[in-house]
Amino acid sequence: MDSARTFRHIWPLRVRSYHVDRQNVVHNLQYLYFFEEARVEYIRAVGLPMDEGTFLTHDKFFVVKNCCEYAAPAYFDEMLEILTRISFIGESSIGFEHIARKTDGTLCARGEHVFVHVDTESNTPSRVPEALRSLIAAYEGAIPRK
């Protein structure tokens, strides 16, 4: 995973009481939720519609990989920044990378996620549409192919 300088999208987040465990540390599972919320905001920033019909009428993706590595604890009421970028676009897959860090730059967690575009009828892998590739490239610049 590259340095934080290569991430265009930054989503701020305040750690809430329901994010932490009995030790006042953000529970490990919460980072997957943080990354999911940041991905939705990333998709909005790219220019795709995000509304009540998005997951019913637009492209269909399956999550095939969720990976999270933890570096330092975050605590109740701290401000975090969730950085998001597309790391690759394959024939049918898209890779996301995330960094969760404190506002002082302390790394809390890193995430890697892979989504596969699937045909809405057969649920089998299908090519990532050119329109989506173009929107992502316009936002990110050159994206590695996998």
What is the mean pLDDT of each successive set of 10 residues along the chain, which is 146 residues long?
A: 77 97 96 96 88 70 96 98 96 97 97 95 93 92 76
Distances from the Cα of 123 to the Cαs of 61, 89, 96, in angstroms? 9, 19, 21
pTM for the predicted model, two decimal places? 0.90
- Per-residue confidence (pLDDT) for residue 52, from 0 to 100: 72
- Return the pLDDT at 41: 94
Q: Which residues have a Cβ under 8 Å from the Cβ of 135 and sit 6 or more positions away?
A: 46, 47, 48
The torsion region of residue 47 among left (phi > 0), alpha (psi -120 to 50) and beta comes to: left
- CA–CA distance, 19 with 33 (Å, rounded to integer): 10
pLDDT at 34: 98
What is the per-residue pLDDT for 118? 94
Contact status, residue 106 vs residue 122, Cβ threshold 8 Å: no
Give residue 55's pLDDT: 60
Q: Which positions ≥6 away from 115 have C-beta within 8 Å?
A: 61, 62, 63, 64, 93, 94, 95, 96
- 129 residue type, one letter: P
Phi-psi region at 116: left, alpha or beta (left = phi > 0; alpha = psi -120 to 50) = beta
Per-residue pLDDT at 57 = 62
**What are the residues whose beta carbons fall under 8 Å from the beta carbon of 20, sequence distance 6 or more?**
26, 27, 75, 76
